Amino acid sequence: MTDEPSATAGRDTTESTGFDDVSEDELRAAFEATDYVADDDIVTTVLLALRLGRPLLVEGEPGAGKTELAKVLATGFDTELIRLQCYEGLAAENALYEWNYTKQLLAVQADERGVDDPDASVFDEEYLLERPLLQVLSAGGDRPPVLLIDEVDRADEEFEALLLEVLSDFQVSIPEFGTVEAETQPVVIITSNRTRALSDALKRRCLFLHVEPPSFEKEKSIVERKVPELDGAIATELCAVTQRLRQEPLRKQPGVAETLDWARAIAQLRADDGTGPLSPAEIEHTIGCLLKEVDDVERIDEAMLETLTEAAQRARGNE
Amino acid sequence: MLPTDGDGVPDAAGIRDEVVEALVMFVRALRRAGVDVPANAGVVGAQALVEVGFDDEDRARAALRAALVTRAEGVETFDRLFGEFWRRLAAHLDGDANDALDDAPDGALAPLGAESAPSDEAAETAAAEMEPGDDWNDGDLPLVRSAIEPGASDGQETDSTTATYSPSGRPETVTVDVGALIDDDPLDAAVDRLVGSLASLRGRRWRRAGSGERADPRRALRQSVATGGTVASLPERARRETAVQVAVLADVSQSVLDVVDRGFLLRFLRTLTARVRRSRVFFFDSDVRDVTTAFDEPTTADAVRALERAETSWGGGTRIGHAVETVRREHSEAIDRRTVALIVSDGLEMGDVAGLEREMTWLASRSRGVLWLNPLAANPEYEPTPAGMAAALQAVNGLFAFIDSRDILEIARQLEQYGIGGRIGLEYDPRRRQKTTRPDTKTKP
């Protein structure tokens, strides 16, 4: 931290990020080590975000693996993940910093610190409660942390304006304290479920990645990596069912996260029961792992169960 | 593609302008297609391209998608238009940029994100080269001259004419007063020069040359083996000149016939056909007719009679996309990598614009290049904003005015100077530029 506010408005956002020397092989290795199945588009886009030092705005349906991307980057590069979960009404004091008023009051009452004395002020780092954005800016280390601003579309538009300053200059001004500036730019992953349109100003500062629902092959690969205890043929059937369900006009399409939940559930239920094909009853009893809306669950009648079972059997037959 | 360093970054300063220009055109095409592209996206896109290099189309696509697209709805349009951008960029890097590579002394790619203003230089150069009598007029600049306007055919200029046209039109048999089809030396000379400029287009291959434009280091090295490593003489090389074929798709819809001198159009087609090695000519309005054989006749008058005998019609509506599609389906042999496609049309597409865009992408990828000759573009105020013209523009090497022989000369001049893959087109036409820079240009207070 700096004691005095510093003028850094003209800062070049492409300066060292701590990740600007990351190679594609290193990035792929990081994904591989964390069992994250990323296609070439994702690898290229993330690599660009790292090298150019630009925030990455990731959009896609819930459960598509947006949040996981930030976690994987932090784990894969052995750095800290700092998460800011957005919600309606999120304010600056929840995202940036707060003063520890109780501690300040006690210090003043005990006559240890004052308000005006610059050498013994209660507006000191000791009394500052760092929230996620400030934590990121003041973090040290060789590799900067990964900042995950999750579901930014849930936050108010006023909060986006606050983000603009942070994302443009990677610094924040605290009137009583000074300017806090990141030594190295953090990796910033912003996720959005597209429940509302984001401002142009925010989008202009970001690279964009739209995560599509995975293909059958990719989803199968994800299930096999994340749920290794599940038999391969059953994993194939599960993915075929999920893919078939995504063709239906559901209120909420199952994402990869739901597929993984379902796979883990089936693996648990079949722990002692071999590798036989999925039965309609088995699908019906566990469909709640995939579908989270009552209306969607009610669509699964006998005819639909038969369709799903056929899809599963066809996929197993094609193995 | 160009030689690259380990990261796939092109090792040539000379391609910077070409990459920037292709990128700017791509961004414009995306915006025209309704994609929400941020204001700074071009700079970010250039930085992204430099990071990922130019060797892998998929990587470049992913990089530019991340930089240029901000909404999921734009992804599909981006993917659709990217192919043409990449083709254009690859043409720059494969062909003309090799010249720049040879000339580049330090071999480093200048920062692409920096500002550059390459586009005006060409027009300024061209303007400086113009002869005193080459400008359109001493007074007001010409507007569209129409065959249906009194006095237009005898060279008189008209003021502030707005072209009238019928968007649908009713086909009628081709009829032109044969007696009016007198020899036109300026047109013949202009077409000669155009054909010369097309035929002199250089290919990618080099040939040995006694006094070529470049030294041939490889050959010099080979020869030096015989002299113990000493280079006794410096062999030289030059680009091969490839034979160029032409396919003309002439829009004879009512909207075009209303603004173009029909006699001029027919004379142009006849003269062009007579002077290139191989040509195909198609008339199209709402239908497509292969009229190549008619223009094989020895004179324009004979060509008109042949068209009349064949009861060839014109004056229908404008379906450019359908015309290109028909050529693709039924006459695909007319277009190959050696063929320069000339489209004579006002771009006022009455059919499916998305289809036109798709077919133009095919035409651009299949042909040596596409030149669009637009009668409406003779108006200095013209902007290619009609939906059909805007959609087609991304696949066109150059859009030019087409109303008289001076327009043909301008096309030839640009082709001679910059080649079909270079920065050519209406925006580099010095006559348009003059309109804005002439001190005596009258403007309303």
ipTM of this complex prediction, to 2 decimal places: 0.78
Residue B3: partners with Cβ closer than 8 Å, 6 or more residues away: B10, B11, B12, B101
- Clarify whether residues B27 and B133 are in a common domain: no
Of A14, A200, A207, the CB nearest to B66: A207
Q: What is the spatial distance between Cα A78 and Cα A18, in angstroms, rounded to a whole number?
A: 13
Is B386 among the domain residues? yes
Amino acid B222 reads: R
- Clarify whether residues B173 and B286 are in a common domain: yes
Of B39, B47, B69, the CB nearest to A52: B47
Residue A193: partners with Cβ closer than 8 Å, 6 or more residues away: A59, A60, A61, A62, A151, A153, A154
% of chain B residues with pLDDT over 90: 11
Half-sphere exposure of B134 (CA within 13 A, CB side): 18
- Clarify whether residues B49 and B178 are in a common domain: no
What pLDDT, on a 0 to 100 scale, did the predictor assign at position A7? 35
- Whether B75 contacts chain A with CB within 8 A: yes
- Whether B156 contacts chain A with CB within 8 A: no
CATH of domain A24-88+137-211: 3.40.50.300
Among B101, B116, B131, which residue terminates a domain? Answer: B116
Is B443 among the domain residues? no
Q: What is the spatial distance between Cα B62 and Cα A65, in angstroms, rounded to a whole number?
A: 18
Is B202 among the domain residues? no
- Clarify whether residues B227 and B286 are in a common domain: no
Overall average pLDDT of the B355-363 stretch = 89
- Clarify whether residues B297 and B318 are in a common domain: yes
Q: Tell me the pLDDT tens digit for each residue of B150-170.
A: 333 343 343 433 333 434 445
CATH number of the domain within which B432 lies: 3.40.50.410
- Clarify whether residues B265 and B377 are in a common domain: yes
- Clarify whether residues B189 and B219 are in a common domain: no
Q: Tell me the pLDDT tens digit for each residue of B220-241.
A: 888 888 888 888 888 888 777 6
Angle at B229 between CA B224 and CA B233, to 5 degrees: 40
Q: What is the spatial distance between Cα B258 and Cα A173, in angstroms, rounded to a whole number?
A: 66
Give which of A40, A44, A194 to mutate to test B binding, by max B Cβ within 10 Å.
Answer: A44
Amino acid A170 reads: F
- Clarify whether residues B68 and B180 are in a common domain: no
> Which chain A residue shows the shortest CA-CA distance from B41?
A204
Is B345 among the domain residues? yes
Amino acid B390 reads: A
Overall average pLDDT of the B323-345 stretch = 89
Q: Is A130 exposed, middle or buried (0-12, 13-18, 19+ CB in 10 A)?
A: middle
Overall average pLDDT of the B4-17 stretch = 55
User: pLDDT: is B182 or A43 the higher one?
Assistant: A43
Backbone angles phi, psi at A267, to 5 degrees: -60, -40
- Clarify whether residues B269 and B412 are in a common domain: yes
Among B116, B138, B160, which residue terminates a domain? Answer: B116
| B67 contacts on A by Cβ (under 8 Å) | 48, 207-208
Residue B150: partners with Cβ closer than 8 Å, 6 or more residues away: none
Is B7 among the domain residues? no
Q: Do B62 and A41 touch (CB under 8 A)?
A: yes
| B65 contacts on A by Cβ (under 8 Å) | 41, 45, 208
What pLDDT, on a 0 to 100 scale, did the predictor assign at position B212? 66
Of B363, B362, B388, the residue nearest B376 (C-alpha): B388
Of B38, B40, B51, the CB nearest to A52: B51
- Clarify whether residues B108 and B132 are in a common domain: no
For residue B380, pLDDT beyond 90 = no
- Clarify whether residues B57 and B144 are in a common domain: no
Task: Look up residue B229 and give its two tokens.
Answer: 């490593």
What pLDDT, on a 0 to 100 scale, did the predictor assign at position A47? 94
Total beta-carbon pairs less than 8 A apart between chain A and chain B: 64
- Whether B46 contacts chain A with CB within 8 A: no
What pLDDT, on a 0 to 100 scale, did the predictor assign at position B138? 36
User: How far is residue B74 CA from its own chain's centroid?
Assistant: 27
What pLDDT, on a 0 to 100 scale, did the predictor assign at position A9? 33
What pLDDT, on a 0 to 100 scale, did the predictor assign at position B183? 60
Overall average pLDDT of the B135-148 stretch = 35
Confidence of residue B444 (pLDDT cuts 50, 70, 90): very low
> Which chain A residue shows the shortest CA-CA distance from B66?
A208
- Whether B440 contacts chain A with CB within 8 A: no
- Whether B37 contacts chain A with CB within 8 A: no
What pLDDT, on a 0 to 100 scale, did the predictor assign at position B315? 66
Amino acid A266 reads: I
What pLDDT, on a 0 to 100 scale, did the predictor assign at position B172? 63
Q: What is the spatial distance between Cα B282 and Cα B332, in angstroms, rounded to a whole number?
A: 12
Is B442 among the domain residues? no
Helices (H), B156-214: 185-199
What pLDDT, on a 0 to 100 scale, did the predictor assign at position A58? 94
Is B6 among the domain residues? no
Across B182-254, the runs of DSSP E, i.e. the strands, are: 202-209, 214-215, 236-241, 245-251
Q: Tell me the pLDDT tens digit for each residue of B252-284.
A: 888 888 888 888 888 899 888 888 878 899 998
| B70 contacts on A by Cβ (under 8 Å) | 57, 200, 203-204, 206, 208
Of B174, B173, B171, the residue nearest B319 (C-alpha): B171
Is B1 among the domain residues? no
Q: Do B67 and A48 touch (CB under 8 A)?
A: yes
Q: Do A14 and B75 touch (CB under 8 A)?
A: no
**Parallel, antiparallel or unpaired: strands A171-174 and A178-181:** antiparallel
| B79 contacts on A by Cβ (under 8 Å) | none
Q: What is the spatial distance between Cα B107 and Cα B229, in angstroms, rounded to a whole number?
A: 26
- Clarify whether residues B72 and B219 are in a common domain: no
Q: Do A207 and B52 touch (CB under 8 A)?
A: no
Q: Can you give the pLDDT of all 319 residues of chain A as single tens digits?
A: 444 433 333 334 434 557 778 889 999 999 999 888 888 999 999 999 999 889 999 998 887 888 999 999 999 998 999 999 999 888 888 888 888 889 888 888 887 776 667 677 778 888 888 899 998 888 877 788 999 999 999 998 888 888 887 888 888 888 877 888 888 888 999 999 888 888 888 888 899 999 888 889 999 999 999 899 888 899 999 999 999 999 888 888 898 999 999 999 999 888 776 678 888 888 999 999 999 888 888 888 888 999 999 999 998 888 7
Angle at B90 between CA B126 and CA B53, to 5 degrees: 115
Amino acid A169 reads: D
- Domains of chain A: which residue ranges? 24-88+137-211, 97-130, 216-318
Among B116, B143, B161, which residue terminates a domain? Answer: B116
Q: Is the pTM of this model over 0.95?
A: no
The string of DSSP letters for A238-258 reads HHHHHHHHTTS--SS---HHH
Overall average pLDDT of the B159-182 stretch = 52
Which domain, by its residues, includes B249?
Answer: 123-195+243-437
Task: Please tell me the total count of domains within chain B.
Answer: 3
What pLDDT, on a 0 to 100 scale, did the predictor assign at position A142? 74
